[in-house]
A = this chain, B = another copy of it.
């Protein structure tokens, strides 16, 4: 019997990744490339097609059950005209329509990349077996996805899960969204890096991100440590709010910043426990994401293989 795969795709500003994923969630074949930065919309599409052709050729056969895609937002959903913040070449690019034309007769499902990561963590990661889970990504931005009652919550426009814009301090720093004191404004990597540099952090590399800051925190740099504490506290407050509003069981936290480990999770837990005080919030666990870099691909595959739980649209 010929194997059955989901073709899973993860489209971000740094890399394009694709995989053939088995119905159980195992990645059977994988390939990736840097996201081209100097191509126009059609050139970028042809690069993606070449990556998919190569992957399918390497796999040498097997039936496709469908195509699942996580893509940086924003997008019109579920039609998936995508305008990823970090991919300027695509503005209202008809990603779903193109993939449907390429794979006629197959279901093609596209969702926000952070939502796919949350779905992956729920399907096969830290949230497995629980019905009420928030999956978070703390990186250049802060995103997430919300599974309640065992089903992915889409909200009015496919944007549910945007915990990065939960307010943690109404008088806090301005946010790119135009608001003030959003979790993302405090805890996103570049925001933390800027804060740490203001406080006297002088990294010995030219280009720094939250990952280098987390590294320096692990090495004991006091300002880098303070930056992780600042992010951890903001995360703890936002997660407490989400827990009370949605009556969660598990919150998984992934993304580059989560590599700081206890330096992030200890202040997070402290602030979370200080604010999540309703009886029903006592059992909630906040844990590091389990799937790492492949969470988004596995979640994209779940849009195909577990559509009853993760895909509510047409």
Instruction: Flag if A154 contacts B146 (CB, 8 Å).
Output: no
A3 within 8 A of B: no
Q: Which residues on the B side are within 8 Å of A170 (C-beta)?
A: 168-169, 233, 237, 271, 275
Q: Which residues on the B side are within 8 Å of A74 (C-beta)?
A: 279-280
A140 within 8 A of B: no
Q: Give the residue name and chain of the B residue nearest to A131 (CB).
A: B156
A258 within 8 A of B: no
Q: Which residues on the B side are within 8 Å of A178 (C-beta)?
A: 277
Q: Which of A55-63, A192-200, A240-248, A300-308 contacts B (4 or more CB under 8 A)?
A: A240-248
Interface positions of A from 165 to 218, Cβ below 8 Å from B: 165-170, 175, 177-182
CB contact between A275 and one of B167, B247, B274, B280 (< 8 Å): that residue:
B167
Q: Binary interface profile of A, 121-135, with partner B (CB < 8 Å = 1, else 0)?
A: 000000000011000
A16 within 8 A of B: no
Instruction: Flag if A245 contacts B163 (CB, 8 Å).
Output: yes
Q: Give the residue name and chain of the B residue nearest to A172 (CB).
A: B170
**Min CB distance, A111 to chain B, in Å?**
13
Roughly how many angstroms separate A166 CA and B160 CA in the complex, as a whole number?
17
A41 within 8 A of B: no
CB contact between A156 and one of B177, B274, B275, B280 (< 8 Å): that residue:
B280
Q: Give the residue name and chain of the B residue nearest to A148 (CB).
A: B153
Interface positions of A from 237 to 260, Cβ below 8 Å from B: 237, 240-242, 244-249
Size bracket, chain A contacts: 35 or more
A70 within 8 A of B: no
Q: Which residues on the B side are within 8 Å of A225 (C-beta)?
A: none
A292 within 8 A of B: no
Residues A275 and B241 in contact in the complex (CB < 8 Å), given A148-B155, A247-B154, A247-B155: no
Interfacial residues, chain A to chain B (CB-CB below 8 A): 74, 131-132, 146, 148-149, 151, 153-170, 175, 177-182, 233, 237, 240-242, 244-249, 271, 274-280, 283, 312
Known: A146-B246, A155-B247, A167-B168. 18 other contacts (CB 8 A): A74-B279, A132-B155, A149-B154, A153-B153, A155-B246, A155-B280, A160-B245, A160-B246, A162-B278, A162-B280, A166-B241, A166-B244, A168-B170, A169-B170, A178-B277, A180-B275, A181-B275, A241-B245
